[in-house]
Structure 1
């Protein structure tokens, strides 16, 4: 086992534990500690099974990260249940899939709308003579909106759904900030707002990052359906897989 591979598994495990500490923060210390102990046990079970099965460390690390991403919606549901005092509420996989699909579809529609809006503003600016060129930010926003349209269409089929979500993660990371930059050239009102609100572009990147994380979680959920290794079928799943 190489040192680099060991570190890959360690980093993946640390990321999972860090996420566990985040979503159990503010809960009853005993409840939070029990959840964290369960995650430690799950990580040990998975890595032990992977070692016995001869699975490479890098593959194990990828699996740990993928299971953490898939578990995010259920983890948040578990936290809500703890805060509301309704322990034992579980999110079924079909319900999680349905919620994810609805959220990612809305994200796709919004991105398409952003691209169409910038395209319309650019055409208007050309017609009234406000601008005589195509700003790079406007061209990129329109292109990203077009890609988002294709990606949203891919969500309609189960086999292509992971690809659609992955594309929306990429376009979502960029399109909101680029649209702000495009409006700098296309709208006098937006120019005044952008000059007055210096944090607008960083905020747009923050929104894009959140969108990308959600879409990547959906990609992991749809591309790698939850499976339990037979040698560890009695062990509970990693973060968020609600057999715990």
Structure 2
């Protein structure tokens, strides 16, 4: 398959994955020197062509190739951001090493897990208190769901300390993170008179909680892809290092 062949019905999955990668490239090169940005974008275009051509020669299906492209893009996000920072600071020779990226990701995802567990524990404590003092005599669905999500987050955080289970832990935290913050806001609507006043006075609070959850989920998914390392199942095409955030040599 050549670059011009990515228009058939069977190639749409690869085309969509390639467009996502190019869109991300345009985003993280925006605001840089036009020559540097153009060079980077051309490098990614060439890399995508080489990978799809190699995948066709190796007999890899379109969907598997598309998954590989997306996974490599997600794994490369931290290094891409490091490359952008190096360009902005003028320190072009500095790149984040893989161990350092993994360490930063682990610290960030672990912190996310701890926060989610704390949110679940807080809602559980408020629920027990409300029941004991007779504020309510039932458990709101949002409170039950928040407590359950916090329990799952506890298990997921524990999985982060086992290297082989780390991708699963990050994936679970992506799911719980997407929901737990908004659900905790809804739970507090029933469990706290002060929170009720705040929520009624700040109508954008719940959408903001969903936005935070979405950002958390994206970070955790990127970490999960980094640790799962699908490239071991789909070897990269020669010279295809740019998608992982590394510059070709």
Query: Could you tell me which residue of structure 2 aligns to residue 136 of structure 1?
Result: 141
| Alpha-carbon separation, structure 2, partners of 1:51 and 1:240 | 20
Q: Which of the numbers 218, 239, 243 marks the counterpart of 1:239?
A: 243
Runs (4 or more) in structure 1 with deviation over 4 Å come to: 1-4, 225-228
* Match among 115, 118, 129 for residue 113 of structure 1: 118
CA distance in 2, matches of 1:50, 1:156: 34
Q: What's 1:104 paired with?
A: 109
Which of the numbers 48, 52, 56 marks the counterpart of 1:51?
56
State the match for 2:190 in structure 1.
Answer: 185
Indicate the residue corresponding to 2:4 in structure 1: none
Aligned positions of 1:21-60 closer than 5 A: 21-60=26-65
How far is 1:15 from its partner? 0.2
> Counterpart in 2 of 1:90?
95
Q: How much has 1:86 moved relative to structure 2?
A: 1.0
1-side partners of 2:217 and 2:192: how far apart? 27
2:24 paired residue number: 19
* Gap regions ≥5 residues in structure 1: none
Deviation of 1:226 after TM superposition, in Å, equals 4.7
8 Å CA contact 1:91, 1:242 repeated in 2: no
* Equivalent of 1:5 in 4, 10, 14: 10
Which residue does the alignment assign to 1:70? 75
Q: Distance in 2 between matches of 1:26 and 1:190?
A: 41
Q: How many Å separate the matches in 2 of 1:42 and 1:167?
A: 32
Is 1:211 equivalent to 2:206 in the alignment? no
Mapped partners of 1:132, 1:221: distance in 2: 45
Question: d(CA) in 1 for partners of 2:199 and 2:207?
Answer: 11
RMSD value, Cα: 1.6
What is the rounded CA distance, in whole Å, between the counterparts of 1:65 and 1:83 in structure 2?
Answer: 26
Alpha-carbon distance in 2 for matches of 1:241, 1:54: 26
Normalising by structure 2, report the TM-score. 0.93
Instruction: Please state whether the residue corresponding to 1:23 is helix, strand or coil.
Output: helix
- 1:165 matches 2:132: no
The counterpart of 1:221, out of the listed 226, 229, 232, is: 226
Tell me the SS of whatever aligns to 1:185: helix
Aligned residues: 242
- Partners of 1:238 and 1:136 in 2: how far apart? 46
Does the CA-based 8 Å contact 1:43-1:238 persist in structure 2?
A: no
| Deviation for aligned residue 1:112 | 0.2
